[in-house]
Amino acid sequence: MGRGQKRSWGGGGGRGGGRGANEWKQDKRPKAQQEYLSRNDMSNAAFEEYYLAQDVVPEGEWGAFLAALKRPLPVTFRINGSGRFADHLRDRLQSDFFAQFGDGKLLVDGEQVTPPRSLPWYPNGYAWQLEFSRNQLRKLPLLEEIHKFVVAANDAGSISRQEAVSMVPPLFLDVQPHHRVLDMCAAPGSKTFQLLESLHAGSKPGQTPPGFVMANDADFMRCNLLTHQTKRVCSPCLLVVNHDASRLPASLLPPPLPDGAKPPRLEVRFDRILADVPCSGDGTMRKSPDIWRRWNISGGNSLHAIQLRIALHGAKMLEVGGRMVYSTCTFNPIEDEAVVAELLVRCKGAVELVDVRDCLPDLRRMPGKHTWKVKDRYRFYDTWDEAKEICYKLEESMFSNAQKAALPLERCMRFLPHHGDTGGFFVAVLRKVRELPQEAGGPKPAAAAAAANGSAAAAEEAADEAAEDPQPEDAEAALREAQAAGAEDGEGEGGDAEPKPEGEGAAAAEAAEAAAAPEATPLEAARAAAEAALASAEAAVAAYEAGNCDGASRAAAHADACARRAAAAAAPKRPAQEPRQGQGRPGQGQGHQGQGRKGGNKGGDGEALDAGDQDDDEAAGTTGGQLVNVSWVRGGGGRGRPSGGKFAYLDPVAPLEDEETLTTLFDYYGMPQDFPLRSQLIMRSLDKTPKRLYFVARSVRELLLADSKEVLKVVSTGLKVFERQVVREQVNECAYRLAQEGLPLVLPYITKQRLELPAPLLLELLHHRNIILPGGTEGDTTEKGAPKGVKPTLADPAVLAALEPLKLGCVVCELAAADARALGFAAPAHATASDARALAESGAAAAAAAAAAAAAAAPPPGDDGAEEVTGGLAANAPLAVVAWKGKASLAIMVEKAECLQMIDKLSAELKKYQQVTAASAAK
């Protein structure tokens, strides 16, 4: 999340009020949209004409289809995770709330209230639909209670509000813990959340799966939203990157070998790929009714080319035997079947459609179409031969033909809104059965021949040297060749990144820039870029006049990128300001946020300050303090990195290698030496004392290490596990306290500074946020003058005896094991040295071993080991909070919203247990 953005879920941040506002009672839509909807003018003649001609709706259902599109979309949510804890939340929803609807005949002002219903096709009954009007919500207390519970559970990560059909694509991917997964167009992140859930399915406390998820989006700001959305999974197996999906790096160059030799390039391949591509979005009309007035045929036609490029690039990066899901939220065959059919034709049998009729049998769907019409702004066409001489901005790939009609396109799926009271969606499940042909992005024959005779490494090394060390006299020719090949990748703000040249054009462009950059003055660079922009603009005009719309688009994008480079080169350079000691540069690092002023608690005696309170203006990239040398660093050019590096707007990723800090962490928290802090703990700055420390899965670390040329634009990675703590008037042995979000991962390995509390005492601590220790008297006051006597005093002899040997500083307060079992929570976990070794080995080799054993793995009969499975979710982890032991008080360091959710969860189960116990005693 970027600096200045508010954390928002269910009423916090965004338009229409601050945290805690009741969003269901407010109409937050723009005024123009409200006025449009108030006229009940949901109609569009062009929309109806187009889809009647396409015949996407079964005969006799057109009226129901339109009526469904004009109704508001119901609220749907799903329970996160799986296993015992998800079952417990589902049962509580049914017994505490939904059962009160009885026979379903509740009335509000004569209007019947629709009871909540479970989505029959979603596994285990974990997805639910609510269809309440704002008027009903205001007047029926039961609905208000349900709404409050849903918002609180969403904030805590127990559930996710998500459109029903949006839940479908990840289910068809069938992600397993050992899979390498790519989400090509990931923001805002609800589907990425599902992919991470599947990856962590079956994980026990303190363990990470051998696979990982790479989530990409072309919009940098939406990458921050993606990071925030997936934060609740608490996964170290996520890597968020910022690229045009059709230009994602398909290969990486690892660092030189110990003998100085250049290693072979690493092909980036994935076992599962989700390509939920940008689309015209007419399937979301129920959620965004203003699409009714904005819809036109050019929306889908203009997106067809980029959708096809994304699908082709995804197929290229898919491992043989892997599965890719292509999906859109539109009914348009030009964006749906036309893209899939063209992909299958170009891949020449290397990719096939998977028949998934038996998967999710209760989910109603329509089969894909074999033929369709194509329309420009003037008329419909049936074939390319009919259209190619007279059409306006159409391409041959949009049309069906005899070859495409023979493909099994009926295996595609279209979801219509009146079939399940949902939005509209399209899904196609594809499997790669062999390498792609060269013209579709597969390996070149020369490379295959070199591999056959053992000279592949030499050929790749020669190619790398040619690309990295071009001759200056060839720069001009290379630049011309690059311009002819296509457009370069831009780094503009917002929107989609500009296309980048492929193949020889890309290498030539890189060679030209590398040759020209060292010797060119700013004026010469600006002049050269301006001339390139002019030449590309002229090429775009010529291509357009020749009817090559795709070439014209690429040339225009290149002209725009060159023009921006010219403007940047010509702009006067301002001298960099050195930050004052102890003060950082303005601007917060992207991708991670500390808890800030609201995240911690200074305690009843004012002894502890959260790191965010010490220096809120401190940039994550640097604090102006002493910088450290590390064995490797990725990204962050200009952000605390003395030299080198790319993508200056990103924070660097570097390992924590300070042995003094590492030794302190091991000793203070009693972690086993096998726990992989020394290899998998990273920082997002090069300061000697970074503010936050993150843990990354070994599979993610291996990918980062392989990227020696830093081609991946890493926005966010790692799970925050430690945060620097400032203490006033107290000697603290460890400079870092635990972070609440990383607690589920590291808690099983902590043998010191742990305190078990009985349920009533833990509930009291959560409610008051701090408790006075016997050393603190009622007359004491905090630094701000607040009386400490208003807080309860800890008097439990057993707890005091357990607390006394613990050092001042960070402490983990957790629910006592006996109470946890009695109330249905996960008991405190304690990992072994073998668990720590397994965590350190969960990389690529472990993924391969897991893949080989996945089919044979089966739980033994009667095994109830699922009781301790958390699926990586903090909401399902043992009930524990990070606290601070001061001289006079014990204070928790958790956000208020999370405290409230824990209070609700614990008090509800405690009340039930007491009622059951009382009833048993009465008998």
pLDDT over 90, % of the chain: 43
Give the pTM.
Answer: 0.78
Tell me: the pLDDT tens digits for 235-263? 999 999 999 999 999 999 898 888 888 88
Tell me: the pLDDT tens digits for 642-672? 666 677 778 889 999 999 999 999 999 999 9
What local confidence, expressed as pLDDT, does residue 545 receive?
67
Contact indicator for 360, 351 with CB cutoff of 8 Å: no
Residues marked active site are found at: 329
Q: Is 185 annotated as a binding residue?
A: yes
Pairing of strands 654-655, 714-717: unpaired
Q: Is 191 annotated as a binding residue?
A: yes
CA atoms of 763 and 680, how far apart (whole Å) = 35
Phi-psi region of 600 (alpha: psi -120 to 50; beta: other; left: phi over 0): beta
Please state, rounded to an integer, the average pLDDT across all residues of the chain. Answer: 78
Query: Which residue is associated with the tokens 């096709």?
Result: 121
From residue 297, how far is each of 45, 52, 533 by CA, in Å?
Answer: 12, 13, 31
Phi first, then psi, for residue 250 (nearest 5°) are -95, -10
What local confidence, expressed as pLDDT, does residue 535 receive?
81
What local confidence, expressed as pLDDT, does residue 615 receive?
38
DSSP for residue 629? -
Secondary structure of residue 321 in the 3-state scheme: strand
CA atoms of 899 and 886, how far apart (whole Å) = 20
Tell me: the pLDDT tens digits for 833-867? 777 777 777 655 555 555 555 444 444 333 433 34
What local confidence, expressed as pLDDT, does residue 131 receive?
83
What local confidence, expressed as pLDDT, does residue 478 receive?
37
Instruction: Give the pLDDT band (50/70/90) at residue 683.
Output: very high
Contact indicator for 624, 583 with CB cutoff of 8 Å: yes
Identify residue 526 by its one-letter amino acid code: A
Query: Which residue is associated with the tokens 């009817």?
Result: 547
CA atoms of 77 and 147, how far apart (whole Å) = 12
Query: Residues with Cβ < 8 Å from 402, sequence gap 6 or more?
Result: none
Helix axes 456-468, 445-452, angle to 10 degrees: 130
Pairing of strands 413-415, 366-367: antiparallel
CA atoms of 191 and 77, how far apart (whole Å) = 13
Q: Check pLDDT > 50 for residue 1.
A: no
Q: What angle do CA 311, 312, 317 make, to 5 degrees?
A: 95
Tell me: the pLDDT tens digits for 541-589? 777 666 666 667 667 777 777 777 777 777 665 444 443 333 333 333 3
CA atoms of 122 and 910, how far apart (whole Å) = 30
Q: Check pLDDT > 70 for residue 616.
A: no
Tokens, residue 51: 């889809």
CA atoms of 585 and 786, how far apart (whole Å) = 34
Q: Is 203 annotated as a binding residue?
A: no
Tell me: the pLDDT tens digits for 702-743? 999 999 988 999 999 999 999 998 777 666 789 999 999 999
What local confidence, expressed as pLDDT, does residue 463 receive?
41
431 bridge partner residues:
323, 352
What local confidence, expressed as pLDDT, does residue 397 receive?
96
Q: Is 300 annotated as a binding residue?
A: no
Instruction: Give the pLDDT band (50/70/90) at residue 595.
Output: very low
Contact indicator for 164, 837 with CB cutoff of 8 Å: no
Tokens, residue 835: 């668990």
Instruction: Give the pLDDT band (50/70/90) at residue 83.
Output: low
Instruction: Give the pLDDT band (50/70/90) at residue 869.
Output: very low
Question: Would you tell me how many other CB atoms lie within 10 Å of the CB of residue 497?
Answer: 22
Which one has a higher pLDDT value, 578 or 885?
Answer: 885
Q: Check pLDDT > 60 for residue 694.
A: yes
CA atoms of 173 and 429, how far apart (whole Å) = 8
Which one has a higher pLDDT value, 829 or 150?
Answer: 150
Secondary structure of residue 184 in the 3-state scheme: coil
What local confidence, expressed as pLDDT, does residue 40 receive?
62
Least confident interval from 45-54, 626-635, 698-707, 786-795: 786-795
DSSP string covering 391-436, please?
-SS--GGGS--HHHHTS-GGGSEEE-HHHHTS--EEEEEEEE-SPP
**Closest among 429, 283, 461, 430 to 349, alpha carbons compared:** 430
Tell me: the pLDDT tens digits for 514-539? 444 444 577 777 777 788 888 888 88
DSSP for residue 687? B
What local confidence, expressed as pLDDT, does residue 806 receive?
94
Q: Check pLDDT > 60 for residue 455.
A: no
Q: Check pLDDT > 50 for residue 343.
A: yes
Tokens, residue 637: 């050019």
Give the max Cα distance, the chain: 96
H or E segment to which residue 850 belongs = helix 844-854
Give the 3-state secondary structure percentages of the chain, helix then strand then coil, rounded to 5: 40, 15, 45
Pairing of strands 212-216, 180-183: parallel
Range 789-802 average pLDDT? 87
What local confidence, expressed as pLDDT, does residue 210 receive?
93
Phi first, then psi, for residue 396 (nearest 5°) are -60, -35
Q: Check pLDDT > 70 for residue 453.
A: no
Secondary structure of residue 301 in the 3-state scheme: helix
Tell me: the pLDDT tens digits for 465-515? 333 333 333 333 333 433 443 333 333 333 333 333 344 334 444 444 444
Q: Check pLDDT > 80 for residue 384.
A: yes
CA atoms of 416 and 367, how far apart (whole Å) = 11
Count of all residues that appear for the chain in the document:
923
Q: Check pLDDT > 70 for residue 789.
A: no
From residue 522, how far is each of 469, 491, 531 by CA, in Å?
Answer: 22, 19, 14
Q: Is 802 annotated as a binding residue?
A: no
Q: Is 276 annotated as a binding residue?
A: yes
